[in-house]
Structures are given as C-alpha cells and as structure tokens.
Copies of this chain bind each other. A is one copy, B any other.
Amino acid sequence: MDTREALLNTAEQAVRRWGYNGFSYGDLSTKVGIRKASIHYHFPKKEDLALALIVRYRKAVFIMLEAIATQHKPAGQQLTEFINIYRQALGGCDTLCLCVALSSGPDSLNKDILSEITKFQTEAKAWLTSVFELGRSDITITKVTDPEKDAAACLALMQGAQLVARAGGDIEEFETAVAGLISRIST
C-alpha cells in the first residue's frame, strides 16, 4: 500500500476521534508499522500532515456534493443526502467531521489550516444555499425564506448535532436535533 495514504487514513481517524492534539507520530508509527522518524520523510512537520489531511478531506467531501448536485434530484432529496454525510461521519458516535474536530482549538492551528477550514465551510454553505434555493422553487423543502440563512443554520446544526451526540454517546441525540430540519423535507 501507499505509505503516505496509510498515514493520512490513520491520522484522519485519530484526529476525528481525539482532535489535533490527540494523536502523535508515535501513535501513527505503531498503527502504520513504520518508524517514527520515517513519517517525517512524508510530512516534515505535524502541521504539514494536518494541512494535507484537511485539504484531502475538503476535496473528497465536495466531490460527493458535486455528485449529488449533478444528478438533479429534488432539493429535499439532496438535503437528505447532505444530512446523511454528517450522520455517517459520526460513525458509532466516536468520530466527528474532520472539520468539526479541528475547529475546536483553532488558536493552536496555523494560518493555512484555519483558512482551509474556512474554505470548507464557505463551500458547504454555498452548496447548501443552492439546495435551499431549489427547494423553495421545486417545493420539496418547506418554510424557506432566506436560503443563505437556512444554509448557515443547517451547517451549524449538523456540526452541533455531531458534538452533542458525540458527547452523549448516543446517535439518537443527533436524530432528535435534526428531526425538525428533516420534517421540512416534503416527499
């Protein structure tokens, strides 16, 4: 397997469980089966690894969102699939969206990583805004007045619902929190 890829995969799981400070080159070393020092060949500094992580994550998510958008399904269905992404990202309530996991202590992160997080959120809101606009015209999402605000609220709701469910260790808390949004989707 590609070592670099394996490092990224292992690191991503760790960050999404324990945050940026919750994994070390020592951990990666054990789990990937490579010496600690060798990791520095692929990622000279830990921040390089974190940056590669968030860039890869952002691109992967937006490939999914692009795929959803280009199928030209009803807006309600697109929103459902968006919620599914966040639901699945929760795993067994032990992983967060990478973006949420890194958002917690941004002061300790460098400028590049922070701007990647911002970029992720900006793109997500733009995508959601289109969905809510469509939902208003194709009438598959109810109570849409300001798509931009709906988009911002939706993204915040997903992130918060993940946090709450994760802390409580119960995915039902995620479901309860998003139930109101889901009820606005008309089939």
Contact = CB atoms under 8 A, between A and B. Distances in A.
Contacts of A181: 153
A128 B111 CA distance: 37
B164 A176 contact: no
Contacts of A96: 104
Contacts of A183: 145
Contacts of A150: 180
Interface in A9-65: 17-19, 21-22
Interface of A is mostly: helix
Given A160-B158, A160-B161, A103 B167 contact: yes
Interface string A158-181: 111101101111000100111111
B164 A157 contact: no
Contacts of A157: 153, 156-157, 160
7 closest Cβ pairs, A-B complex: A160-B160, A104-B104, A156-B160, A159-B160, A21-B21, A19-B105, A156-B177
